[in-house]
Amino acid sequence: MISQLEKEVTFRFLKTRKNDGFLNIISIFSFIGISLGVAVLIIVMSVMNGFRTELISKIVGFNAHAVVEQVDKSQEYIQDFDLAKNIFSNDGEAVILNKDVTKGIFLKGYLETDFRKLQIVNNNEYFGSKNLNNNAISIGKELSINLNVDIGDMITVMSPAGIQTLVGKLPKQENFKIVSIFDSGLADYNKNIAYINLETLESFFNKNKEDRFIEFYFKDPKNIEIHKKNLAIIFPDALVYTWSDMNKSLFSALKVERNVMFIILFLIIIVAAFNIISGLTILVKNKTRDIGILKSIGVSNKSIKKIFFLVGFSIGTSATLFGVFVGTLFSIYVENIRQFISNIFGISLFPEDIYILNSMPSQINMNSIIIISLCSIIATILVSIYPASKASSLDTVKTLKYE
Protein backbone atom coordinates (compact mmCIF):
# COMPACT_ATOMS: atom_id res chain seq x y z
CA MET A 1 0.00 0.00 0.00
CA ILE A 2 1.03 3.61 -0.58
CA SER A 3 0.83 5.90 2.43
CA GLN A 4 -0.41 9.50 2.37
CA LEU A 5 3.12 10.76 3.05
CA GLU A 6 4.49 8.85 0.05
CA LYS A 7 1.73 10.29 -2.17
CA GLU A 8 2.37 13.87 -1.03
CA VAL A 9 6.16 13.65 -1.44
CA THR A 10 5.75 12.04 -4.88
CA PHE A 11 3.42 14.83 -5.96
CA ARG A 12 5.86 17.43 -4.60
CA PHE A 13 8.77 15.92 -6.56
CA LEU A 14 6.65 15.87 -9.74
CA LYS A 15 5.95 19.61 -9.49
CA THR A 16 8.31 21.69 -11.63
CA ARG A 17 10.53 24.35 -10.11
CA LYS A 18 12.67 27.08 -11.63
CA ASN A 19 15.92 25.64 -10.30
CA ASP A 20 15.12 22.24 -11.89
CA GLY A 21 15.44 23.51 -15.47
CA PHE A 22 17.47 20.65 -17.00
CA LEU A 23 15.50 18.07 -15.03
CA ASN A 24 12.25 19.52 -16.36
CA ILE A 25 13.54 19.28 -19.94
CA ILE A 26 14.44 15.60 -19.50
CA SER A 27 11.03 14.86 -17.95
CA ILE A 28 9.23 16.66 -20.79
CA PHE A 29 11.22 14.77 -23.43
CA SER A 30 10.55 11.48 -21.64
CA PHE A 31 6.82 12.26 -21.60
CA ILE A 32 6.76 13.34 -25.26
CA GLY A 33 8.89 10.40 -26.40
CA ILE A 34 6.73 7.76 -24.72
CA SER A 35 3.50 9.47 -25.85
CA LEU A 36 4.64 9.69 -29.47
CA GLY A 37 5.90 6.11 -29.44
CA VAL A 38 2.59 4.77 -28.11
CA ALA A 39 0.51 6.99 -30.42
CA VAL A 40 2.48 6.08 -33.56
CA LEU A 41 2.40 2.39 -32.67
CA ILE A 42 -1.39 2.47 -32.23
CA ILE A 43 -1.85 4.40 -35.49
CA VAL A 44 0.36 2.01 -37.48
CA MET A 45 -1.28 -1.10 -35.99
CA SER A 46 -4.76 0.35 -36.65
CA VAL A 47 -3.95 1.20 -40.26
CA MET A 48 -2.39 -2.21 -40.89
CA ASN A 49 -5.36 -3.97 -39.25
CA GLY A 50 -7.72 -1.88 -41.34
CA PHE A 51 -5.69 -2.54 -44.49
CA ARG A 52 -5.80 -6.31 -43.91
CA THR A 53 -9.53 -6.34 -43.09
CA GLU A 54 -10.42 -4.14 -46.05
CA LEU A 55 -8.24 -6.20 -48.37
CA ILE A 56 -9.87 -9.44 -47.22
CA SER A 57 -13.31 -7.88 -47.67
CA LYS A 58 -12.48 -6.77 -51.22
CA ILE A 59 -10.88 -10.08 -52.20
CA VAL A 60 -13.68 -12.18 -50.68
CA GLY A 61 -16.29 -9.96 -52.32
CA PHE A 62 -14.70 -10.36 -55.74
CA ASN A 63 -13.38 -13.93 -55.77
CA ALA A 64 -14.99 -17.28 -55.10
CA HIS A 65 -14.39 -18.37 -51.51
CA ALA A 66 -13.32 -21.84 -52.70
CA VAL A 67 -12.87 -23.45 -56.12
CA VAL A 68 -12.93 -27.15 -56.99
CA GLU A 69 -11.33 -28.28 -60.27
CA GLN A 70 -11.54 -31.58 -62.16
CA VAL A 71 -14.38 -33.25 -60.29
CA ASP A 72 -17.40 -35.38 -60.99
CA LYS A 73 -19.94 -32.65 -61.71
CA SER A 74 -22.75 -34.86 -60.39
CA GLN A 75 -21.55 -33.91 -56.91
CA GLU A 76 -22.59 -30.31 -57.39
CA TYR A 77 -24.34 -29.93 -54.01
CA ILE A 78 -22.69 -30.53 -50.65
CA GLN A 79 -23.96 -30.61 -47.08
CA ASP A 80 -22.52 -27.52 -45.37
CA PHE A 81 -24.61 -25.38 -43.04
CA ASP A 82 -22.48 -22.33 -43.91
CA LEU A 83 -22.82 -22.73 -47.70
CA ALA A 84 -24.52 -19.75 -49.33
CA LYS A 85 -24.32 -20.93 -52.96
CA ASN A 86 -22.20 -22.82 -55.47
CA ILE A 87 -22.03 -22.10 -59.20
CA PHE A 88 -20.18 -23.24 -62.33
CA SER A 89 -17.45 -21.15 -63.91
CA ASN A 90 -14.50 -21.27 -66.27
CA ASP A 91 -11.75 -18.88 -67.31
CA GLY A 92 -9.05 -18.13 -69.85
CA GLU A 93 -6.52 -15.50 -70.89
CA ALA A 94 -7.09 -13.34 -73.97
CA VAL A 95 -6.14 -10.01 -75.55
CA ILE A 96 -8.45 -7.01 -75.93
CA LEU A 97 -8.02 -4.87 -79.05
CA ASN A 98 -9.50 -1.39 -79.27
CA LYS A 99 -8.14 0.99 -81.90
CA ASP A 100 -4.46 1.47 -81.02
CA VAL A 101 -4.73 -0.08 -77.54
CA THR A 102 -3.87 -3.72 -76.86
CA LYS A 103 -4.35 -5.19 -73.39
CA GLY A 104 -3.98 -8.68 -71.92
CA ILE A 105 -7.09 -9.72 -70.02
CA PHE A 106 -8.27 -12.58 -67.80
CA LEU A 107 -11.77 -13.64 -68.83
CA LYS A 108 -14.14 -15.33 -66.37
CA GLY A 109 -17.24 -17.07 -67.64
CA TYR A 110 -20.56 -17.57 -65.83
CA LEU A 111 -24.02 -18.62 -66.87
CA GLU A 112 -26.36 -15.64 -67.10
CA THR A 113 -28.42 -16.71 -64.05
CA ASP A 114 -25.28 -17.33 -61.97
CA PHE A 115 -23.71 -14.01 -62.98
CA ARG A 116 -26.63 -12.14 -61.40
CA LYS A 117 -25.89 -13.88 -58.07
CA LEU A 118 -22.34 -12.52 -57.77
CA GLN A 119 -21.72 -10.02 -54.99
CA ILE A 120 -19.89 -7.61 -57.27
CA VAL A 121 -22.95 -7.42 -59.56
CA ASN A 122 -25.21 -6.53 -56.64
CA ASN A 123 -23.24 -3.66 -55.09
CA ASN A 124 -23.62 0.08 -55.64
CA GLU A 125 -20.51 0.30 -57.83
CA TYR A 126 -21.95 -1.85 -60.63
CA PHE A 127 -23.33 0.09 -63.60
CA GLY A 128 -25.23 -1.29 -66.57
CA SER A 129 -27.16 -4.42 -67.41
CA LYS A 130 -26.96 -7.68 -65.44
CA ASN A 131 -27.77 -9.71 -68.55
CA LEU A 132 -24.67 -11.53 -69.71
CA ASN A 133 -25.77 -13.00 -73.05
CA ASN A 134 -23.68 -14.51 -75.83
CA ASN A 135 -21.82 -11.42 -77.05
CA ALA A 136 -21.89 -9.34 -73.85
CA ILE A 137 -18.89 -8.42 -71.73
CA SER A 138 -18.59 -6.73 -68.33
CA ILE A 139 -15.31 -4.88 -67.67
CA GLY A 140 -13.72 -3.03 -64.74
CA LYS A 141 -13.66 0.72 -64.23
CA GLU A 142 -9.90 1.12 -64.71
CA LEU A 143 -9.96 -1.03 -67.86
CA SER A 144 -12.74 1.11 -69.36
CA ILE A 145 -10.65 4.22 -68.70
CA ASN A 146 -7.50 2.67 -70.21
CA LEU A 147 -9.40 1.58 -73.33
CA ASN A 148 -11.43 4.81 -73.44
CA VAL A 149 -14.70 2.90 -73.80
CA ASP A 150 -18.10 3.07 -72.15
CA ILE A 151 -21.28 1.00 -71.85
CA GLY A 152 -22.64 0.23 -75.31
CA ASP A 153 -19.26 0.33 -77.10
CA MET A 154 -17.88 -2.63 -79.05
CA ILE A 155 -14.43 -4.14 -78.40
CA THR A 156 -12.52 -6.97 -80.08
CA VAL A 157 -11.18 -9.89 -78.06
CA MET A 158 -8.53 -12.28 -79.40
CA SER A 159 -8.25 -15.83 -78.08
CA PRO A 160 -5.02 -17.92 -78.09
CA ALA A 161 -7.16 -20.86 -79.20
CA GLY A 162 -6.73 -21.00 -82.97
CA ILE A 163 -8.96 -21.85 -85.89
CA GLN A 164 -7.72 -23.73 -88.93
CA THR A 165 -7.74 -21.76 -92.23
CA LEU A 166 -6.29 -22.15 -95.71
CA VAL A 167 -3.26 -20.10 -94.67
CA GLY A 168 -2.73 -21.96 -91.42
CA LYS A 169 -3.89 -21.69 -87.84
CA LEU A 170 -5.07 -18.22 -86.79
CA PRO A 171 -6.20 -16.98 -83.37
CA LYS A 172 -9.93 -16.50 -82.84
CA GLN A 173 -11.32 -12.97 -82.75
CA GLU A 174 -14.79 -11.95 -81.66
CA ASN A 175 -16.54 -8.65 -81.09
CA PHE A 176 -18.20 -8.07 -77.71
CA LYS A 177 -20.57 -5.36 -76.58
CA ILE A 178 -19.84 -3.72 -73.21
CA VAL A 179 -23.05 -4.11 -71.21
CA SER A 180 -21.75 -3.11 -67.77
CA ILE A 181 -18.83 -1.63 -65.83
CA PHE A 182 -17.96 -2.83 -62.31
CA ASP A 183 -15.73 -1.54 -59.54
CA SER A 184 -14.32 -4.19 -57.21
CA GLY A 185 -12.44 -1.65 -55.10
CA LEU A 186 -9.15 -3.26 -56.18
CA ALA A 187 -7.42 -1.47 -59.03
CA ASP A 188 -5.53 -4.57 -60.25
CA TYR A 189 -8.74 -6.57 -60.58
CA ASN A 190 -10.51 -3.71 -62.35
CA LYS A 191 -7.70 -3.50 -64.91
CA ASN A 192 -7.20 -7.16 -65.66
CA ILE A 193 -10.47 -9.09 -65.27
CA ALA A 194 -13.64 -9.15 -67.37
CA TYR A 195 -16.78 -11.32 -67.43
CA ILE A 196 -18.43 -13.04 -70.38
CA ASN A 197 -21.06 -15.75 -70.79
CA LEU A 198 -19.82 -19.21 -69.80
CA GLU A 199 -20.96 -20.95 -72.99
CA THR A 200 -19.41 -18.19 -75.10
CA LEU A 201 -16.13 -18.55 -73.19
CA GLU A 202 -16.04 -22.33 -73.73
CA SER A 203 -16.59 -21.86 -77.45
CA PHE A 204 -14.04 -19.04 -77.58
CA PHE A 205 -11.29 -21.10 -75.88
CA ASN A 206 -12.27 -24.49 -77.35
CA LYS A 207 -13.15 -25.88 -73.90
CA ASN A 208 -15.66 -28.55 -72.90
CA LYS A 209 -18.27 -28.57 -70.16
CA GLU A 210 -16.14 -31.14 -68.31
CA ASP A 211 -13.50 -28.41 -67.85
CA ARG A 212 -15.77 -26.28 -65.69
CA PHE A 213 -14.98 -25.42 -62.08
CA ILE A 214 -17.35 -25.34 -59.13
CA GLU A 215 -17.16 -22.11 -57.14
CA PHE A 216 -18.34 -22.19 -53.53
CA TYR A 217 -19.51 -19.15 -51.59
CA PHE A 218 -19.91 -19.36 -47.80
CA LYS A 219 -21.77 -17.20 -45.31
CA ASP A 220 -18.61 -16.84 -43.22
CA PRO A 221 -15.62 -16.99 -45.60
CA LYS A 222 -13.14 -16.14 -42.82
CA ASN A 223 -13.30 -19.75 -41.57
CA ILE A 224 -12.14 -20.87 -44.99
CA GLU A 225 -9.62 -23.48 -43.77
CA ILE A 226 -12.43 -25.50 -42.18
CA HIS A 227 -14.46 -25.37 -45.40
CA LYS A 228 -11.39 -26.35 -47.42
CA LYS A 229 -10.92 -29.50 -45.31
CA ASN A 230 -14.59 -30.43 -45.79
CA LEU A 231 -14.32 -29.94 -49.56
CA ALA A 232 -11.12 -32.01 -49.68
CA ILE A 233 -12.98 -34.88 -48.01
CA ILE A 234 -15.96 -34.61 -50.38
CA PHE A 235 -13.75 -34.24 -53.50
CA PRO A 236 -10.63 -36.32 -52.67
CA ASP A 237 -9.34 -36.48 -56.27
CA ALA A 238 -9.91 -32.81 -57.09
CA LEU A 239 -7.81 -29.69 -56.74
CA VAL A 240 -9.31 -27.48 -54.02
CA TYR A 241 -8.05 -23.95 -53.47
CA THR A 242 -9.44 -20.93 -51.64
CA TRP A 243 -9.17 -17.15 -51.63
CA SER A 244 -6.58 -17.54 -48.88
CA ASP A 245 -4.41 -19.84 -51.03
CA MET A 246 -4.56 -17.45 -53.98
CA ASN A 247 -3.32 -14.54 -51.81
CA LYS A 248 -1.10 -16.40 -49.34
CA SER A 249 2.11 -14.53 -50.19
CA LEU A 250 0.37 -11.16 -49.83
CA PHE A 251 -1.04 -11.88 -46.38
CA SER A 252 2.20 -13.52 -45.21
CA ALA A 253 4.07 -10.36 -46.21
CA LEU A 254 1.51 -8.23 -44.36
CA LYS A 255 1.91 -10.33 -41.21
CA VAL A 256 5.71 -10.11 -41.29
CA GLU A 257 5.57 -6.37 -41.96
CA ARG A 258 3.13 -5.86 -39.08
CA ASN A 259 5.37 -7.74 -36.62
CA VAL A 260 8.51 -5.91 -37.76
CA MET A 261 6.79 -2.51 -37.48
CA PHE A 262 5.65 -3.37 -33.95
CA ILE A 263 9.22 -4.23 -32.89
CA ILE A 264 10.76 -1.14 -34.52
CA LEU A 265 8.22 1.29 -33.09
CA PHE A 266 8.32 -0.33 -29.65
CA LEU A 267 12.04 0.43 -29.58
CA ILE A 268 11.06 4.14 -29.73
CA ILE A 269 9.12 3.63 -26.50
CA ILE A 270 12.09 1.83 -24.92
CA VAL A 271 14.49 4.66 -25.85
CA ALA A 272 12.06 7.26 -24.47
CA ALA A 273 11.56 5.22 -21.31
CA PHE A 274 15.31 5.17 -20.70
CA ASN A 275 15.17 8.95 -20.45
CA ILE A 276 13.27 8.36 -17.21
CA ILE A 277 16.46 6.82 -15.75
CA SER A 278 18.36 10.00 -16.56
CA GLY A 279 15.59 12.17 -15.12
CA LEU A 280 15.26 10.15 -11.91
CA THR A 281 19.05 9.98 -11.45
CA ILE A 282 19.27 13.80 -11.67
CA LEU A 283 16.23 14.07 -9.38
CA VAL A 284 17.93 11.86 -6.80
CA LYS A 285 21.06 14.05 -7.03
CA ASN A 286 19.03 17.26 -6.64
CA LYS A 287 16.95 15.85 -3.77
CA THR A 288 19.83 14.36 -1.76
CA ARG A 289 19.19 16.78 1.12
CA ASP A 290 15.45 16.05 1.06
CA ILE A 291 16.15 12.31 1.14
CA GLY A 292 18.43 12.76 4.15
CA ILE A 293 15.78 14.79 5.99
CA LEU A 294 13.08 12.21 5.22
CA LYS A 295 15.29 9.41 6.53
CA SER A 296 16.20 11.39 9.64
CA ILE A 297 12.53 11.78 10.60
CA GLY A 298 11.98 8.05 10.32
CA VAL A 299 10.90 7.47 6.71
CA SER A 300 12.04 3.95 5.76
CA ASN A 301 14.24 3.01 2.80
CA LYS A 302 11.25 1.13 1.39
CA SER A 303 9.16 4.32 1.38
CA ILE A 304 11.99 6.30 -0.27
CA LYS A 305 12.18 3.62 -2.95
CA LYS A 306 8.40 3.78 -3.44
CA ILE A 307 8.47 7.59 -3.77
CA PHE A 308 11.04 7.68 -6.58
CA PHE A 309 9.53 4.64 -8.25
CA LEU A 310 6.14 6.40 -8.26
CA VAL A 311 7.70 9.48 -9.83
CA GLY A 312 8.99 7.47 -12.81
CA PHE A 313 5.83 5.35 -12.94
CA SER A 314 3.61 8.47 -12.96
CA ILE A 315 5.53 10.03 -15.86
CA GLY A 316 5.44 6.80 -17.89
CA THR A 317 1.78 5.98 -17.18
CA SER A 318 0.49 9.49 -17.88
CA ALA A 319 2.55 9.58 -21.11
CA THR A 320 1.15 6.17 -22.12
CA LEU A 321 -2.46 7.25 -21.49
CA PHE A 322 -1.93 10.48 -23.42
CA GLY A 323 -0.37 8.49 -26.27
CA VAL A 324 -3.35 6.11 -26.31
CA PHE A 325 -5.72 9.10 -26.53
CA VAL A 326 -3.78 10.76 -29.37
CA GLY A 327 -3.26 7.50 -31.25
CA THR A 328 -6.91 6.46 -31.00
CA LEU A 329 -8.15 9.90 -32.06
CA PHE A 330 -5.74 9.99 -35.01
CA SER A 331 -6.73 6.45 -36.04
CA ILE A 332 -10.43 7.38 -36.14
CA TYR A 333 -9.85 10.38 -38.41
CA VAL A 334 -6.81 9.11 -40.33
CA GLU A 335 -8.57 9.25 -43.73
CA ASN A 336 -9.82 12.80 -43.10
CA ILE A 337 -6.32 13.88 -42.07
CA ARG A 338 -4.84 12.23 -45.17
CA GLN A 339 -7.27 14.05 -47.45
CA PHE A 340 -6.59 17.37 -45.67
CA ILE A 341 -2.80 17.04 -46.06
CA SER A 342 -3.14 15.91 -49.68
CA ASN A 343 -5.35 18.90 -50.52
CA ILE A 344 -3.14 21.43 -48.72
CA PHE A 345 0.21 20.29 -50.16
CA GLY A 346 -1.08 18.81 -53.42
CA ILE A 347 0.57 15.42 -52.86
CA SER A 348 -0.76 11.86 -52.88
CA LEU A 349 -0.10 10.15 -49.53
CA PHE A 350 -1.89 6.91 -50.41
CA PRO A 351 -1.64 6.22 -54.19
CA GLU A 352 -4.34 3.79 -55.28
CA ASP A 353 -2.19 2.09 -57.91
CA ILE A 354 0.43 1.20 -55.26
CA TYR A 355 -1.70 0.37 -52.22
CA ILE A 356 -4.60 -1.22 -54.19
CA LEU A 357 -7.26 0.45 -52.01
CA ASN A 358 -8.68 3.89 -52.83
CA SER A 359 -8.77 5.15 -49.22
CA MET A 360 -6.63 4.72 -46.13
CA PRO A 361 -8.37 2.17 -43.91
CA SER A 362 -8.16 2.04 -40.13
CA GLN A 363 -9.48 -0.48 -37.63
CA ILE A 364 -8.90 0.11 -33.93
CA ASN A 365 -8.25 -3.15 -32.09
CA MET A 366 -8.70 -2.98 -28.33
CA ASN A 367 -6.43 -5.99 -27.76
CA SER A 368 -3.61 -4.21 -29.61
CA ILE A 369 -4.12 -1.04 -27.56
CA ILE A 370 -4.06 -3.02 -24.30
CA ILE A 371 -0.89 -4.89 -25.32
CA ILE A 372 0.86 -1.66 -26.39
CA SER A 373 -0.16 0.10 -23.17
CA LEU A 374 0.97 -2.79 -20.96
CA CYS A 375 4.32 -3.05 -22.78
CA SER A 376 4.88 0.70 -22.37
CA ILE A 377 3.97 0.66 -18.66
CA ILE A 378 6.12 -2.43 -18.02
CA ALA A 379 9.06 -0.71 -19.72
CA THR A 380 8.48 2.32 -17.48
CA ILE A 381 8.38 0.12 -14.37
CA LEU A 382 11.63 -1.62 -15.27
CA VAL A 383 13.59 1.60 -15.92
CA SER A 384 12.27 3.19 -12.71
CA ILE A 385 13.53 0.44 -10.43
CA TYR A 386 17.28 1.23 -10.55
CA PRO A 387 17.22 4.97 -9.70
CA ALA A 388 14.58 4.32 -7.02
CA SER A 389 16.82 1.68 -5.43
CA LYS A 390 19.77 4.07 -5.66
CA ALA A 391 17.81 6.76 -3.81
CA SER A 392 16.81 4.39 -1.00
CA SER A 393 20.43 3.24 -0.50
CA LEU A 394 21.81 6.76 0.22
CA ASP A 395 23.47 7.11 3.61
CA THR A 396 21.63 9.58 5.90
CA VAL A 397 24.81 10.93 7.59
CA LYS A 398 26.62 11.55 4.30
CA THR A 399 23.60 13.27 2.75
CA LEU A 400 23.37 15.78 5.61
CA LYS A 401 27.08 16.08 6.40
CA TYR A 402 27.67 19.21 4.30
CA GLU A 403 24.19 20.73 4.63
**Residue 107 has what pLDDT?**
92
pLDDT at 209: 83
Kindly report, residue by residue over 239-266, the tens digit of the pLDDT: 888 888 887 777 777 778 778 878 887 8
- Residue 106 gets which letter from DSSP? E
- Looking at residues 156-163, what average pLDDT do you find? 80
Provide the CA 130 distance to its chain's centre, in angstroms.
33
Q: What is the mean pLDDT of residues 94-107?
A: 86
Overall average pLDDT of the 78-82 stretch: 60
Concatenated DSSP letters of 199-211: HHHHHHTT--GGG
Q: Answer for the pair 67, 241: CB distance below 8 angstroms, yes or no.
A: yes
Higher-pLDDT residue of 163, 337: 337
C-beta of residue 165 within 8 angstroms of C-beta of residue 206: no
Average pLDDT along the chain: 79
Going by C-alpha positions, the residue among 195, 182, 192 that lies closest to residue 151 is 182
Residue 15 has pLDDT above 60, yes or no: yes
Task: Give the whole-angstrom CA distance, residue 277 versus residue 312.
Answer: 8
181 pLDDT more than 90: yes
Report the pLDDT value the prediction gives residue 177, as an integer from 0 to 100.
92
**Cα radius of gyration (the chain):** 32
pLDDT in tens, 272-301: 777 777 777 777 666 677 767 777 777 777
Residue 180 has pLDDT above 90, yes or no: yes
Helix, strand, coil % (nearest 5) of the chain? 60, 20, 20
Which pLDDT does position 146 carry in this prediction? 87
* pLDDT value for 222: 76
| Alpha helix positions (H), 287-365 | 288-296, 301-332, 334-345, 352-355
Inter-residue contact 89 to 110 (CB < 8 Å):
yes
Which has more pLDDT, 184 or 201? 201
Tell me what pLDDT residue 358 has.
64
Is the overall model pTM greater than 0.85, yes or no? no
AA letter at 221:
P
> Is the predicted pLDDT of residue 140 greater than 50, yes or no?
yes
> What phi, psi does 35 have (nearest 5°)?
-60, -45
pLDDT for residue 73 is more than 70: no
Residue 273: predicted pLDDT: 75
Q: How confident is the model at residue 78 (pLDDT cuts 50, 70, 90)?
A: low
Element (H, E) at 398: helix 396-401
For the chain, domain boundaries: 4-55+250-401, 83-218
pLDDT of 328 reads 92
What's the rounded Cα separation, in Å, for the pair 90 and 78? 20
pLDDT attached to residue 137 = 92
**For residues 245 and 167, which has the higher predicted lDDT (pLDDT)?**
245
d(CA 69, CA 311) in angstroms, rounded, equals 66
Work out the pLDDT band at 19, boundaries 50, 70, 90. low
Q: How are beta strands 239-242 and 168-182 bridged, if at all?
A: unpaired
Whether the predicted pLDDT of 74 surpasses 50: no
Question: Band of the pLDDT at 400, cuts 50, 70, 90?
Answer: low
Each residue of 350-390: pLDDT tens digit?
A: 666 556 666 778 888 888 889 888 888 888 888 888 777 77
Interval 93-115 mean pLDDT = 88
